[in-house]
Amino acid sequence: MPLIEVEGMHHDDVYKLLVGSVVPRPIAWLTTIDPENGRVNAAPFSCYTFCCSSPPMVGVTVGRGRVKDSTRNARNEGSFVLNVVNEDMIEPMHLSSTDFPPEISEPEHFNIELAPSKFIRTPRVKAAPISLECKLHEIIAFGDKDGSDFIVGQVIAFHINDDLYENGRINMKKLKPLARLGGPVYARLGEHITMPSVGPSTTAR
């Protein structure tokens, strides 16, 4: 069993081990807007989670090897939309990760239909089963020049497709979330496993 000490490793090799260890990852398809010209950007990020539930906050890890449009727009506009990706959206989502210059809007280039948000100027992806309108809370820089920015947004509204929303919860079978493994490899959810609840609360945290 290899024991791999990180010190002295090239960051590309560390990255390969990280993305193979932290699996499966859900995908945040971020829409952002450039406040100077109103151009809308879309890009997927699988290194993400929610990081607070009161108030609700989500955090997305964006690499700093080059300044990505998503980071610059979220910082300058002060908002972003986190669109949840299901199996049906794999192709446009994957294509939108193309490393375009800022002048190219992925939604325009790939005909990704947008819809207005309710509380922020940044639009959402119309086909997304769930979209979270987020106000920028903080951007936390980690690491060195090849490190990452953790972009934290406070969720101010959930847009949820009618057919997924049941008694205040989201029906996972109908959602069909897409997961990312390494590189261009994705996965569907397999069989669901339900365990008997333990502890005093039935609300899983």
Positions touching ligand FMN (CB under 6 A) are 27, 41, 43-47, 61-63, 68-70, 94, 97, 99, 180
Closer of 70 and 86 to ligand FMN (Cβ):
70
Compute the least distance from the CB of residue 180 to ligand FMN, in Å: 4
Task: For ligand FMN, give the closer residue by CB, 61 or 122.
Answer: 61
Amino acid, res. 35: P
Which is nearest to 91 in space by CA: 127, 48, 59?
Answer: 127
| Tokens matching residue 86 | 């299901």
- Of the two residues 171 and 188, which places its CB atom closer to ligand FMN in the complex? 188
Which residues lie below 8 Å from residue 178, measured CB to CB, with a gap of 6+? 26, 27, 85, 86, 87, 89, 90, 93, 186, 187, 188
* Smallest distance, ligand FMN to C-beta of residue 42, A: 7
Q: Could you tell me the smallest distance in angstroms from the CB atom of residue 54 to ligand FMN?
A: 25
Minimum CB distance to ligand FMN smaller for 95 or for 165: 95
Minimum Å distance from CB 7 to ligand FMN? Answer: 24
Please, where are the H alpha helices in 115-185?
172-175
Tell the smallest beta-carbon distance from residue 43 to ligand FMN (Å).
3
Nearest Cα to 132, choosing from 62, 55, 34, 39?
55
From the number of C-beta atoms within 10 Å of its C-beta (0-12, 13-18, 19+), residue 94 rates as middle
Distance (Å, whole) CA 28 – CA 134: 12
Q: Whose Cβ is closer to ligand FMN: residue 18's or residue 165's?
A: 18
